[in-house]
Amino acid sequence: MEDTQQPGSLSAPELAAVRRSLTDGRMAMTRRSLLRAGGAGALALGGLGALSACGIPPAGRTDAGRSVDRSGQEKRVSFSNWTEYLDVSDDGKRRPTLDAFTRRTGIAVKYTEDVNDNDEFFGKIQAQLAAGQDTGRDLIVLTDWMCARMIGLGWVQKLDAASLPHARANLSEQFRDPDWDPGRAHSYPWTGIPAVIAYNVKATGGRTVDSVSQLLDDPKLKGRVGFLSEMRDSVGLTLLDMGKRPEDCTADDFDAAIARLQKGVDSKQIRRFTGNDYINDLSKGDLAACVAWAGDVVQLQHDNPDIKYAVPRAGYMTSTDNLLVPDQARHKKNAERLIDYCYEPKVAARIAAYINYVCPVDGVREELAKIDRDLADNPLILPDREMAARSHSFRALHGEESKDFARKFADLTGA
């Protein structure tokens, strides 16, 4: 895929999305994060000024992968990930999965939880990538739409298929061929992130809520409905409910979905647009039903039996967080060994049992059942074929179109 846009500084709506994500975005307030509030996951906002002031050079590089790989001489790999996105020991001091990798391979892993938001992280590394410099990171995890942007700019190295036997064999069919990285030439998914409908059965009077039409039109839910502040999830689910495919969304389709959501705002059917902060409102019943991320639902159900979920009849949205090797990374081969290791079913099961999002690895069910039978049977973690077939992804957006869509969604949400 080639991106011919002339990338510049972030627009005002995109900057607003960054600030919003830092405080209530997808990974900001998981159940485990709440238990560790005030810890190392906090991020200073000082870097945001640089995002608005610093644009990207006017053309993407096309020579990604020409760096000299030092994996043979330097037995280490630097891995940047989101917070609470890899298993930890009970005392919180060790990373069992990474420790086992190091024991097996002799490769030391420097693991850093410094991805707090896609745009914010992009702002950290863009100047070095544009200059053809090493970012100090060999492996990063970003969401699919940002991966598309990075690949289009030529800032991601192609992966060596010969170094990824487990990944090639065990990658679930659902994730094998995204439009933004055909054949997974540059990326492998870390997790799938379904957006479904969650509801509090006490607050709904025992009724099931299983469609966006109910969220927007049921008078019994008025003022107690939440949608996500992530554009692709909320607009994508609305498009599906309207009989449209987010994979083929036109500007007119997008405007129609925005207009439908705007009616819900104007009528006060929608209480608010949220990040992970729907967790407390849904548990208390202040929100009767909302669009929610599956990983949160799994964790909420541990604590509150009144929390239920439904896969919308029209289908649901799935995005992915993905493993990438940045241009000029010093230890590409070591990074590929770590990617491949994470696609071994036993390893993938340990990771899935901790993070509770969709595991993209086939053959993991038996291993996950050894850890927790309920998790192994949960379709929000291991979708069956029927559920996977109902999954949809928002198409890649480029250039002015991306900024235009972000502006319209920001106007809707009041961001």
* Residue 238 near residue 394 (C-beta atoms within 8 A): no
The Cα–Cα gap between 338 and 303 comes to 33
Tell me, yes or no, whether 330 and 275 share the same domain: no
User: At CA 295, angle to CA 224 and CA 44, rounded to 5?
Assistant: 85
User: Where do the H-state alpha helices sit in 131-230?
Assistant: 144-152, 165-170, 212-217
Give me the residue label for tokens 């994996």. 71
* Residue 10 near residue 18 (C-beta atoms within 8 A): yes
The beta-carbon contacts of 311-314 under 8 Å, at least 24 apart in sequence, are 311/196, 311/197, 311/210, 311/379, 311/387, 311/390, 312/196, 312/197, 312/210, 312/211, 312/212, 312/237, 312/240, 312/241, 313/210, 313/211, 314/211, 314/212, 314/237, 314/240, 314/241, 314/243
* Residue 18 near residue 124 (C-beta atoms within 8 A): no
Tell me, yes or no, whether 291 and 176 share the same domain: no
Tell me, yes or no, whether 201 and 170 share the same domain: no
Q: What per-residue confidence (pLDDT) applies to 35?
A: 34
* Residue 110 near residue 135 (C-beta atoms within 8 A): no
Tell me, yes or no, whether 160 and 264 share the same domain: no
Q: What per-residue confidence (pLDDT) applies to 116?
A: 87
Q: Domain range holding 144? A: 76-186+325-343
Tell me, yes or no, whether 164 and 114 share the same domain: yes
Q: What per-residue confidence (pLDDT) applies to 275?
A: 84
Tell me, yes or no, whether 219 and 293 share the same domain: yes
In a domain, 380, yes or no: no
Tell me, yes or no, whether 270 and 406 share the same domain: yes
H/E segment holding residue 272: strand 270-274
Tell me, yes or no, whether 276 and 230 share the same domain: yes
In a domain, 110, yes or no: yes
In a domain, 199, yes or no: yes
Report the domain count for the chain: 2
Q: What per-residue confidence (pLDDT) applies to 276?
A: 77
Residue 268: which CATH number? 3.40.190.10
Q: What per-residue confidence (pLDDT) applies to 30?
A: 46
**What single DSSP character describes residue 242?**
T
In a domain, 104, yes or no: yes
pLDDT tens track of the chain, all 415 residues?
A: 333 333 444 555 555 554 444 444 554 444 344 333 333 333 333 333 333 334 334 344 545 556 789 999 999 999 999 988 999 999 988 999 999 999 999 999 999 999 988 888 999 999 999 999 999 999 999 999 999 999 999 999 999 999 999 999 999 999 999 999 999 999 999 999 999 999 999 999 999 999 999 999 999 999 999 999 999 999 999 999 999 999 999 999 999 999 999 999 999 999 999 987 899 999 999 999 999 999 899 989 988 999 999 999 899 999 999 999 999 999 999 999 999 999 999 999 999 999 999 999 999 999 999 999 999 999 999 999 899 999 999 998 888 998 999 999 999 998 6
Residue 255, token pair as written in the block: 């405007």
The Cα–Cα gap between 89 and 101 comes to 15
Burial 201-232 (b: 16+ CB within 10 A, else e): bebbeeeebbbbebbbebeebeebbbbbbbbb
Q: How many CB atoms lie within 10 A of CB 362?
A: 16
The Cα–Cα gap between 29 and 278 comes to 9
Tell me, yes or no, whether 306 and 200 share the same domain: yes
In a domain, 116, yes or no: yes
In a domain, 249, yes or no: yes
Q: Which three-class secondary structure string do you get for 101-129?
A: HHHHHCCEEEEEEEECCHHHHHHHHHHHH
Q: What per-residue confidence (pLDDT) applies to 92?
A: 87
Tell me, yes or no, whether 126 and 148 share the same domain: yes
The length of the chain is: 415
In a domain, 55, yes or no: no
Tell me, yes or no, whether 122 and 209 share the same domain: no
Nearest to 120 by CA among 16, 40, 274, 234: 16
The Cα–Cα gap between 18 and 311 comes to 28
In a domain, 134, yes or no: yes
Could you tell me which residues come within 8 angstroms of residue 399 by beta carbon, excluding any fewer than 6 positions away? Answer: 3, 4, 5, 6
Give me the residue label for tokens 């030391």. 108
Tell me, yes or no, whether 160 and 300 share the same domain: no
